[in-house]
Structure 1
């Protein structure tokens, strides 16, 4: 009886205590929300995160979520679902590794991105008095005392169609000037950004992972006032496959700079995610001289880049072809095999469609029925893009290639394929130089054959869409959705009729303009740069 008399009041007291603390907590939370992060009565909606950062660094707790609205640096998301979609597009980092808290970084907001910790934020760079435009348009003096003269023969300066935005022209001229003035003695006086893949790195990704972000990286190099360099030694130097073109940008590292790039511990790795690169690329000038970049992003920074585009400037998918063309062109070995292959198959540039079918993505093998379905669907998608046009089919599976040939004959269609050597083609990431450079040529040959097509259909991985972006018409592409995921199973259908004269419900791109058979098109690639002018 004694226990019962004591237990009942105790339970009541416990319940009352819990209720009291819940009410107190609710009152404190509501008060803080009404007052806003700085304690004023303006409410959370009137508090600008940018304004807060002008006074002190933002804390993670100051990013508020109220009335089912997520406020993130001037970007509003109606739900967490929209926030997650934005993360998938590359606007926000999804998962980040914490950095040491002792770095003492000063925070600044990047529009559209949410800092999880003050150490993740882009640090506030030490800005010179001049703006970016003034910085890149100064009168530069050469070592001989003469003023640097802008080279009118450069592709970006000889631009009658005004394709390249002004910021890009300014940066590329500045980059050309830097090449004429740098030396081992001035290394520490300059700021560098290196697109690298070294044997000491665990994973650089495939060809598209390494090179597709080139437009994004060019913009980051401009904003951070860094000299952009591309340097590989894994599995071989990039110059074994791609070199600078005549009139283009020379991104190669001279021997003394290559030695410094390959020195362990020199500079700072910016990480593999878009968020990491943006966070660290523009740190204070005193922090580090060399920024090392091996970013892997499926969209290659496209969404972020398009957010920076000013009125009248081309978007990412429009400018990519032109930036690629002034940066890279096939080496002599790749060019010779490319021209021989296209001649043997009877392929004329911009007179065929291309289908890339990645079957062994993250797989050693797939069932035969699945490979057959995927190959046939890829051919069907190509027919939807351009009916009755020859189709170039490429895959990482010999079985899928054979299935495409058989299916093309059953449709009385011209499906051109090739068996690579070695077979299957080598992935550029997974051999670490154990094979000669000639064994990797086919990966670059197929990439340029995709780029020479009038339209490209693709499925998994970034290789197929990479070829589409390199080509002349990045809008004429189609993703193959018939995967082993029933919820998005949306197969293509074979189309024989011309969509311009006989629109078909199965033809998804019937609004494409008709192709002029007599039209002349600019070449996809240019002659290589004269090595006598290289450093």
Structure 2
């Protein structure tokens, strides 16, 4: 370890030693909720006794809901909060109040400030659903431990490059992200600056759960033991000043466990709204996030160029690079190990035919959901993890010159001929900016702008009337954000089937 790194570590430890037990933000009754049987804590407002400001008004959003993107006017502050479970709304109010009471770095340095829970991504963290689709878990953990929930990404770039806070400010104080080593900011305040210092953070900030719990890939024992034990120990620490000082800031990155989450809500008496697969999921996403300025520009361009109106189109997604779909073409575009998710799908031969066949079936399924308006059938927004497939479906099969140059293939090859017929049945559009659709987890190292497309596709699909999707959880994530029950699965997963997803989604069945 270099002398500078050693001094940074020492400074952080001394900083953490200055924190005192938080007494003003929440009163936690440990004994009734945590016993040897690990009873699930109550989620009721009175049981948690959150500090509540009766005349509190949520902060206004930073985006105009009437932009060309066409955000539904119903996405106002009041409508985002309306209908959310009481415990969620109360936590949001409490979180907003704490950020106001302890602005900037005071959240970290003021002894009276509440403790902090970080949802982190410092290295490999999964795709967008794995990273952002666990908001119900994030809120639950923050609620049950009385911590202010923040988010911190390093891989492939800070989350703020893609999404900004809306009603709930999950960002780290700017002073903690100081860029210059000569600006007088203490070294400890640089914990969250870049990938190098984030690796320091991963070592220096303790986890909410035992390291042996494997929270990022939970096993059965995590749900049966480590989860409750982590929450219990965190609450018990409030009576032990030394332990609380050591865990003023903790991090977590739970993956999976949707059914486990629902069980916990039911055991806590919450039976009317289990959040996942209800309109509350999309509302919570809207409470947390709005597009960054760069992503918003791309969204505006898509809606303008493709003439799409939110709620008046369907979305069809093809995930042709996912190992749950097919393993035959795992070598991808190059012999580099890692499969298509790491290097892309080879657009030739059997790989191309597999992708086109998948798209044809997906479009046929999606076309069964189309709404016939007064004048014409609604359009389909087609998106995929293969930019070649999007170009083929939305541009080439509509191009007279392409048809002329490849007429022999389009006429004689059954796969191509069928694709042309299916595409001509409806208005199919797609985003085509000429760049690769990079996987945010498997294809790190690119500039932040290279990943805009993943967020744009997600948000466009999330504002569609219906979503048709195949393997993986990316497009399913968009469907859950949309709050619409109009969804269809066009392709079964070859392994690792998500039973909850299977139960909630109708599998497409076409006449032979």
Structures share fold, TM-score greater than 0.5: yes
Preserved CA contact (<8 Å) 1:377 1:482: no
The aligned residue for residue 438 of structure 2 is 426
Following the alignment from structure 1 to structure 2, what is the Cα–Cα distance between the partners of residues 157 and 189?
A: 26
Which aligned pairs between 1:26-45 and structure 2 lie closer than 5 A?
A: none
Secondary structure of the 1:394 match is strand
Following the alignment from structure 2 to structure 1, what is the Cα–Cα distance between the partners of residues 259 and 125?
A: 14
Preserved CA contact (<8 Å) 2:265 2:271: no
Instruction: Call closer, same or farther: CA 1:233–1:150 in 2, change over 3 Å.
Output: farther
Instruction: Call closer, same or farther: CA 1:305–1:422 in 2, change over 3 Å.
Output: farther
The aligned residue for residue 207 of structure 2 is 268
Shift of 1:356: 1.0
Match of 2:316 among 351, 355, 365: 355
Match of 2:453 among 442, 456, 462: 442
* TM-score, length of structure 1 as denominator length: 0.59
Preserved CA contact (<8 Å) 2:471 2:492: no
The aligned residue for residue 479 of structure 1 is 489
Following the alignment from structure 2 to structure 1, what is the Cα–Cα distance between the partners of residues 79 and 392?
A: 45
Secondary structure of the 2:310 match is coil
Match of 2:369 among 350, 367, 385: 385
Structure 1 unmatched runs, 5+: 1-53, 55-104, 112-124, 140-147, 495-505, 507-535
Secondary structure of the 2:277 match is helix
Instruction: Call closer, same or farther: CA 1:177–1:442 in 2, change over 3 Å.
Output: same
Secondary structure of the 1:343 match is helix
Instruction: Please say if 1:400 is aligned against 2:389.
Output: yes
Shift of 1:304: 3.9
Task: After superposition, give the CA deviation of every residue in 1:218-276 in whole Å (9 maximum; x if it has no partner).
Answer: 1221122111111112221111110012xx11111104556456433222154214635
Instruction: Call closer, same or farther: CA 1:383–1:441 in 2, change over 3 Å.
Output: same
Instruction: Please say if 1:367 is aligned against 2:351.
Output: yes
Instruction: Call closer, same or farther: CA 1:279–1:378 in 2, change over 3 Å.
Output: farther
Preserved CA contact (<8 Å) 2:315 2:464: yes
Match of 1:254 among 153, 167, 173: 173
Preserved CA contact (<8 Å) 2:281 2:480: yes
Structure 2 unmatched runs, 5+: 1-30, 61-75, 178-189, 193-197, 210-214, 238-242, 324-338, 372-376, 398-418
Instruction: Please say if 1:240 is aligned against 2:161.
Output: yes
Match of 1:465 among 473, 476, 500: 476
* 151-160 or 408-417, which deviates more: 151-160
* TM-score, length of structure 2 as denominator length: 0.62
Shift of 1:472: 3.8
Which aligned pairs between 1:166-185 and structure 2 lie closer than 5 A?
A: 166-182=86-102, 183=106, 184-185=108-109
Instruction: Please say if 1:452 is aligned against 2:413.
Output: no
RMSD value, Cα:
3.6
Task: After superposition, give the CA deviation of every residue in 1:404-458 in whole Å (9 maximum; x if it has no partner).
Answer: 44436544211112334422x11112344x3221111111111111111101011
Larger Rg belongs to: 1
Preserved CA contact (<8 Å) 1:191 1:226: yes
Instruction: Call closer, same or farther: CA 1:413–1:310 in 2, change over 3 Å.
Output: same
Higher helix residue share: 2
The aligned residue for residue 152 of structure 1 is 57
Instruction: Call closer, same or farther: CA 1:490–1:158 in 2, change over 3 Å.
Output: closer
Preserved CA contact (<8 Å) 1:447 1:467: yes
Instruction: Call closer, same or farther: CA 1:476–1:133 in 2, change over 3 Å.
Output: same
Preserved CA contact (<8 Å) 2:136 2:275: no
Preserved CA contact (<8 Å) 1:243 1:329: yes
Following the alignment from structure 1 to structure 2, what is the Cα–Cα distance between the partners of residues 169 and 131?
A: 11
Preserved CA contact (<8 Å) 2:471 2:493: no
Match of 2:305 among 341, 344, 364: 344
Secondary structure of the 1:284 match is helix
Shift of 1:106: 7.9
Following the alignment from structure 1 to structure 2, what is the Cα–Cα distance between the partners of residues 460 and 328?
A: 25
Preserved CA contact (<8 Å) 2:258 2:276: no
Shift of 1:191: 2.4
Preserved CA contact (<8 Å) 1:241 1:333: yes
The aligned residue for residue 276 of structure 2 is 316
The aligned residue for residue 493 of structure 1 is 510
Preserved CA contact (<8 Å) 1:272 1:295: yes
Secondary structure of the 2:471 match is coil
Following the alignment from structure 2 to structure 1, what is the Cα–Cα distance between the partners of residues 80 and 356?
A: 48
Following the alignment from structure 1 to structure 2, what is the Cα–Cα distance between the partners of residues 300 and 420?
A: 38
Following the alignment from structure 1 to structure 2, what is the Cα–Cα distance between the partners of residues 404 and 278?
A: 49
Secondary structure of the 2:151 match is strand
Preserved CA contact (<8 Å) 1:216 1:305: no
Following the alignment from structure 1 to structure 2, what is the Cα–Cα distance between the partners of residues 312 and 298?
A: 19
